[in-house]
Structure 1
Amino acid sequence: MYIGEQLINPPAERLRLSAQLGVERVVIDNRGTDLVRPGGVWDVDKLRGYREWVESFGLKIDLFALDVGSILLDFLTDEASARQQAEVLKQNIQIAADAGLTALKYNVQMVGITRTGLRTGRGGVQYSGFKLASYSAEADRKHSYWGVGYPTNQDEGDAGSTLLCGQKMAREVPPVTEESGWRAIEFLVNELVPAADRAGIRLACHPHDPAYPVGGLNGVEHVLGSIEGLRKFVALSSSPNHGLNFCQGTVAEMAREPHSYVIRAIEEFAPRIFMVHFRNIKGGYLDFAEVFPDEGDVDMNEAIRAYQRAGYAGILCPDHVPLSELDPNRERFMAFALGYTRGLLQAAGYAPRITTLAD
């Protein structure tokens, strides 16, 4: 295992910082740039050049974001459009391989990552959280994660970035039942995984965040909101290229006893985990806050040992760190999470990279 970072369209200075923090591998989200040609198809030469540019900082791209846009919602309302979008996604999977990439991550959220407010933590830091009893459309719009952004303490969250990834407010989408949600996800898996097999690309899917109550929220079910849902998803294909972006925080949000639930999920799904969002929460099912990794209800040291026992050998990325006006770009808090994770890895016997000093 090794530490890594998820970066959204990082400039050179940000990649230099990652390298200086000891990061060797990164996960890149590059939506909304000139890598995408008209029609949504990636430019293979630009993508290859981008990979080489990242590598010039001593970093390797572990995974690259595959934006599936509104394909799942469209499948439920306009199947012909969804099938056209699937053709573009399949082209991009092959282009990724041709550009020298080995894995892609994607997200099956049909609505924003629902949050209802902020809670105050140590030193006045703000934790993003979800509490079903506090849910309202206004809180959803203000505090949920939209697109590639983060929730904020402004009047509107990051709703302006929804156009980048097809997410909409839950009250603005058609009903998504358990049956129709699975039907849409099965369609996507059946379209993408054979293309990934041909290209030799691994596909890592992020679970639904957060787990919704039984019966859904605003008529939308989150079928990948439990271990049972993840088990059914993994069983959709026996391909070794079909797997999970295992968001440890999201899995913790599924349970009233997050620690034991996370350990159980690691033990079951490790062979299909292609990357980990190594984050922590306080609370649990339907009432939680996203906190620093050292203060949550999941024992992160034991989580490291569980990954180790299960044979996971991939990337661990910080994710959803708290908010503070002292760290507007979250670089300090990400650095703290990286150092904390590196310390846990060393305590578990993973040797750090040996630095060679230049004269």
Structure 2
Amino acid sequence: MYIGEQIINPTEARLKLSRQLGVTDVVIDTRPNEQLLGADGAWDAAKVADQRRWVESLGLKLEVLALDIGSMLLDSIHNPDRARRTAEKARADIRAAADGGVTTLKYNVQMVGITRTGFAEGRGGVRCSAFRARDYSPAADADFSYWGVGHPGGGAHGADIATNATGTKEAVGQVLGTASGGVTEEQGWRALEFLVDQLIPTAEAAGVRLAGHPHDPAYPPGGLNGVNHVVGSLEGMKRFLDIAPESASHGLNFCQGTVAEMSTDPNRIVQEAIREFGGRKRIFMVHFRNIKGGYLDFHECFPDEGAVDMAEAIRTYREVGYDGILCPDHVPVSDLDPARERFFAFALGYTKGLLQAFPAASG
């Protein structure tokens, strides 16, 4: 295993900083990634290769790109023609990524935003993104959720933090539940089956792995605002993978924080999930983050202070043979670190320390 960074719209200076912090591999989370587009509106393989070589010229490896599926899942329920057009573009992007030398793509199954209801005060006065089901309202959702590549508090801090609002291109098709048209459990599964049917055969043919991010957060029974989060439990994650059970291209962007949010016993469920999905070799990348609290009442935090035993998690990843990238994710917000560079540097150093403390077995 090794540390990596997930960065939006990286500059040369930002990538040089990553290298100086000991990062070897990066995930570019830019959505929509307009600099890769060709004349037909899909990714151009030559531009993918140029971006990969640029990253390599700075001493890093471009390991993963974000595949923008926009509102394809929601459209598959309410606007099938548009969903099919989006799927066609996504298939072209998958082929271009492979031809450009990038063979892992991540995507998010969110149809609405990553739902949050406010901030909790954290260590030293930092602001930690929080979800409390009892505090939910559409107004709080609009104000505090993550939209696409936005981050709560984004838009005023510069760097890679996009303006965090619905209706922007960076929201990549995610909408408030009240504007979604509704998603029943049956519709949610039908949408995911559509995605797998439309994209996985192309990924298999191209030799590309597609890493799906589960629903964040787990919703209460019956959903919120008429929307159900079907990949918001271990059973939901298993069923999602079992849509294509034999495919080596169908796997997870294993967000450790999202999994922790699925249970009132976050550490237990995280270790169980690593064994389940790592054992099946379906973890393609990891968001190595932590939370305080648990199911329906949690807030994000620094990796060293949450409910998940991060050292035990490292040992469990080792146990199942996971040898891929660990990316910090969802660090708190502070006016003292507006671009979150120092907070991410702390998370990287903490993770690297754990990797050194619990090395892979020799021989």
Q: C-alpha offsets along residues 259-289 of structure 1, whole Å, 9 cap, x if unaligned? A: 0010000000011000000000000000000
Letter of the 2:275 counterpart: E
The aligned residue for residue 205 of structure 2 is: 198
Matching of residues 224-239 of structure 1 within 5 Å: 224-237=231-244, 238-239=246-247
Q: Distance in 2 between matches of 1:157 and 1:182?
A: 31
The aligned residue for residue 105 of structure 2 is: 104
The aligned residue for residue 356 of structure 1 is: none
The aligned residue for residue 342 of structure 2 is: 332
1:30 deviates by 2.9
Q: 1:38 to 1:175 in 2, by over 3 A?
A: farther
Matching of residues 1-359 of structure 1 within 5 Å: 1-32=1-32, 33-37=34-38, 40-152=41-153, 158-160=164-166, 162-164=168-170, 165-237=172-244, 238-270=246-278, 271-350=281-360
Which range moves more in the overlay, 106-115 or 74-83? Answer: 74-83
Contact 1:141/1:157 (8 A) holds in 2:
no
Q: Distance in 2 between matches of 1:153 and 1:14?
A: 18
Runs of 4+ in 1 over 6 A off after TM superposition: 153-157
Contact 1:145/1:157 (8 A) holds in 2:
no
Contact 1:149/1:161 (8 A) holds in 2:
no
Q: C-alpha offsets along residues 289-331 of structure 1, whole Å, 9 cap, x if unaligned? A: 0000000000000000010001101000000000100100000
Contact 1:143/1:157 (8 A) holds in 2:
no
1:39 deviates by 5.2
Q: Distance in 2 between matches of 1:315 and 1:153?
A: 26
Contact 2:318/2:360 (8 A) holds in 1:
no
- Identity, in percent, stands at 61
Contact 2:154/2:164 (8 A) holds in 1:
no
Q: Name the SS of the counterpart of 1:34 in structure 2.
A: helix
Q: C-alpha offsets along residues 67-86 of structure 1, whole Å, 9 cap, x if unaligned? A: 00011111111212211211
Q: Distance in 2 between matches of 1:350 and 1:16?
A: 28
Q: Distance in 2 between matches of 1:158 and 1:38?
A: 29
Aligned residue pair count:
351
The aligned residue for residue 159 of structure 2 is: none
Gaps of 5+ in 2: 157-161
Letter of the 1:346 counterpart: Q
Q: C-alpha offsets along residues 221-269 of structure 1, whole Å, 9 cap, x if unaligned? A: 0000000000001111111111000000000000000000100000000
Letter of the 1:257 counterpart: D
Contact 1:292/1:321 (8 A) holds in 2:
yes
Q: C-alpha offsets along residues 44-82 of structure 1, whole Å, 9 cap, x if unaligned? A: 211110110011111111111000001111111121221
Q: Name the SS of the counterpart of 1:245 in structure 2.
A: strand
Q: Name the SS of the counterpart of 2:285 in structure 1.
A: strand
Q: Name the SS of the counterpart of 1:129 in structure 2.
A: strand
1:350 deviates by 4.9
Contact 1:114/1:144 (8 A) holds in 2:
yes
Q: 1:305 to 1:49 in 2, by over 3 A?
A: same
Contact 1:24/1:60 (8 A) holds in 2:
yes
Q: Name the SS of the counterpart of 2:227 in structure 1.
A: coil
Q: Distance in 1 between matches of 2:40 and 2:79?
A: 18
Q: Name the SS of the counterpart of 1:91 in structure 2.
A: helix
Q: Distance in 1 between matches of 2:150 and 2:38?
A: 23
For normalisation by structure 2, the TM-score amounts to: 0.94
